[in-house]
Structure 1
Amino acid sequence: MSRPTARLLQLLDLLQSAGTRTLGELAGRLEVDERTIRRYLDHLRDLGVPVEAIRGRHGGYRIAAGYRMPPLMLGEEEALAVLYGLVDLRARVDSPVPPMATETAIAKMRRALPRGALARAETLIAAAVMTPDRPHAPTAPDVLLGVADAVAERRPLSIAYRSKAGAESARTVHPYGLVARHGRWYLAALDLPSGEVRTFRLDRVRSVRTQPGHFRPPPPHDAVADLVERFATADYAHTARLRIRATPEQIRAVLPPSVAVLEPLRAEETGEEGWQRATIRAERVDWLPGLLLGLSVPVVIEGPDELREACAAAAARLRALATGTP
């Protein structure tokens, strides 16, 4: 494929992926000058693509509403990838896509595959047992797609959000990153009223609306690492503090960054080298004794008393199991 043809297809993809795009934005994305973009736009019109020019402060170019591209052409491996993804989606109890839509999409992909590729796909589908993930409240497709567009285009968002306690609020945010973790979607965004970067669960977002303009990209950051850190430092009912004599690597094998925050302790504090303090925030502590047993290293509970009680109760259950006491 020639370079101009590739750029023409890229331009068409850009125009279809969002609403109105400015001439400067298109030129920047394709790394050409604005005169070249105008020529490419004329080529698209010559091919029958209804490209509209929008005047005004927020003007630019867009594809006319209601226009549909010809059927999507996929290679064999691309079609298999889509089919496998649909089958995995069908197993999710919290899928944002209605079950009927998933089933009809699977049927269409099966019909589109060549006979040889279909046989491979059917073999895998028949042999694989797809175990559903933990059920979660689904994220509305229009919310997920709207947030993804805003993240990609660096556009402010107005969101209607419901907190963990059920409080409804309207917020304006600068969306920085979108992360999928353990069956849920999360948005890392600058919350304009508070001026703080916060994490929002998308299944709690009722609606989104893109605002005019663009915001300056944030400094480079790892959205996944940010999310994991927020999990470990969130405001929960209990804060457990432990002293553990082990290397960070040994501790992380049992207590990942999403569970515990680690800090090294000085020898003057503990009387010997090699101790770490782990801070764990959680709504409940009854699940911690089993993890602490898995460490197989010296552990001292600094608090709270609820954790000591949970460990004592777990020890009594283990003692009963070991002695056969009912």
Structure 2
Amino acid sequence: MTRPTARVLALLEILQSGGTRTVAELAQRLGVDERTVRRYVVHLTDLDIPVRSVRGRYGGYRLAPGYRMPPLMLTDEEALAVLLGLIAGRRAGLATSSVVAAESAAAKMRRTLPEALGRRLDALLENVEFTQRPLPSAAPETTVLLLLAEAARDRRPVAIDYTAADGRRTERVLHPYGIVAHSGRWYVTGADSVSGETRTFRLDRVTAPRLLAGAFDPPDGFEPADHVLSGLARIPYRHEISLRVQGTADEVAAAFPPGIATVHAIADDGWVGVRMRAERLDWVPGLLAGLGLPFVVEGPDALRTLVRALADRLAAAAG
């Protein structure tokens, strides 16, 4: 929380204690000048908080009689939904209001929560990373998400039951390095006791997590989001797509959304190879058209057909 936001909330708390407070008193208690106090009061009134100005020698500010911030009675799921909505919306650039307003709302809600739930939500917000690529979601259980986030923060091993895509269930111990939200799904990545490797697991397939005794240290420089995205790019899908795109490897890689494609050097000067995997091809022509770079579809043939069809529709629309 930024210092100005904290002081605005502190001003509200002082006013809620009752009585009329002079500008000089408020300035001294908040550690700011009187002009800043007046600016903070404007911010509170913009949030529809009824701050009244009292004129005269003993004037100042007070709240309207009988006003009190209503208590928030939220379940774990409701609190998680509100906080994640505020954070994700701001990080995705969707919030059009000021950053201070968003932080103020989050801070107000955070202060009303029970201490234990507040600590768990703090752990989640400290460890989650967003790739900002919205798709239909597959939500995990709130208790699973919060417990694994807490374990990642505190470097605690966790025993989990996991159901794979083929329905096979296993029990394993995980050293969670971090939580990643990507394409509408949540993932945890870390050292897996069954495979002996660093693995990524979908949280909606995790059940019955249990914190274990002990501690661990993640590898130096480990980036959970990078590991999840690179792992997802290698998963087999129905369609294997091969392209040649004109440009440098860095330029081409930056033109694709994270985790969609792998870029590799080829012999042709000025061109690089691109590999993609997809369950459906209908969305790929639009993505390629938006690259802004010359490209050649090497396969599959079905993709070439779809690209030609899109080109015909665009030409007809332009005509």
Give the C-alpha shift of residue 247 in structure 1: 2.5
Structure 2 residue matching 1:236: 3-state secondary structure: coil
Q: What are the residue-to-residue correspondences of 1:17-36 with 2, within 5 Å? A: none
Q: What are the residue-to-residue correspondences of 1:136-285 with 2, within 5 Å? A: 136-266=137-267, 270=268, 273-285=269-281
Q: State the partner residue of 2:64.
A: none
Q: CA–CA distance in 2 between the matches of 1:101 and 1:304?
A: 41
Identity of aligned residues (%): 40
Structure 1 residue matching 2:152: 3-state secondary structure: helix
TM-score normalised per structure 1: 0.54
2:289 aligned with 1:289, yes or no?
no
Q: CA–CA distance in 1 between the matches of 2:213 and 2:303?
A: 50
Which digits, 9 at most, give the CA deviation of each residue in 1:119-160, with x for residues without a partner?
x959x99xxxxxxx6542322221112112221232221112
Whether the 8 Å CA contact 1:250–1:295 is kept in 2: the answer is no
TM-score normalised per structure 2: 0.55
Give the C-alpha shift of residue 79 in structure 1: 8.5
Q: For residues 251 and 202 of structure 1, do their structure 2 counterparts lie closer, same or farther at Cα, with a shift above 3 Å needed?
A: same
Give the C-alpha shift of residue 289 in structure 1: 0.9
Structure 2 residue matching 1:97: 3-state secondary structure: helix
Q: For residues 75 and 160 of structure 1, do their structure 2 counterparts lie closer, same or farther at Cα, with a shift above 3 Å needed?
A: same
Q: Structure 1: 5+ residue runs without aligned partners?
A: 1-73, 81-94, 107-119, 126-132
2:97 aligned with 1:97, yes or no?
no
Whether the 8 Å CA contact 1:189–1:199 is kept in 2: the answer is yes
Count of equivalent residues: 208
Q: CA–CA distance in 2 between the matches of 1:99 and 1:297?
A: 44
Whether the 8 Å CA contact 1:261–1:280 is kept in 2: the answer is yes
| RMSD between superposed Cα atoms in Å | 3.5
Structure 1 residue matching 2:216: 3-state secondary structure: coil
Q: Which amino acid aligns with 1:279?
A: R
Q: CA–CA distance in 2 between the matches of 1:264 and 1:256?
A: 19
Q: For residues 98 and 256 of structure 1, do their structure 2 counterparts lie closer, same or farther at Cα, with a shift above 3 Å needed?
A: closer
Q: For residues 280 and 100 of structure 1, do their structure 2 counterparts lie closer, same or farther at Cα, with a shift above 3 Å needed?
A: closer
Q: For residues 300 and 182 of structure 1, do their structure 2 counterparts lie closer, same or farther at Cα, with a shift above 3 Å needed?
A: closer
Q: State the partner residue of 1:45.
A: none
Q: For residues 249 and 100 of structure 1, do their structure 2 counterparts lie closer, same or farther at Cα, with a shift above 3 Å needed?
A: closer
Q: What are the residue-to-residue correspondences of 1:46-85 with 2, within 5 Å? A: 75-76=6-7
Q: CA–CA distance in 1 between the matches of 2:188 and 2:80?
A: 28
Whether the 8 Å CA contact 2:264–2:274 is kept in 1: the answer is yes
Q: Which amino acid aligns with 1:227?
A: V
2:303 aligned with 1:302, yes or no?
no
Q: Structure 2: 5+ residue runs without aligned partners?
A: 12-74, 87-99, 106-133
Give the C-alpha shift of residue 322 in structure 1: 4.7
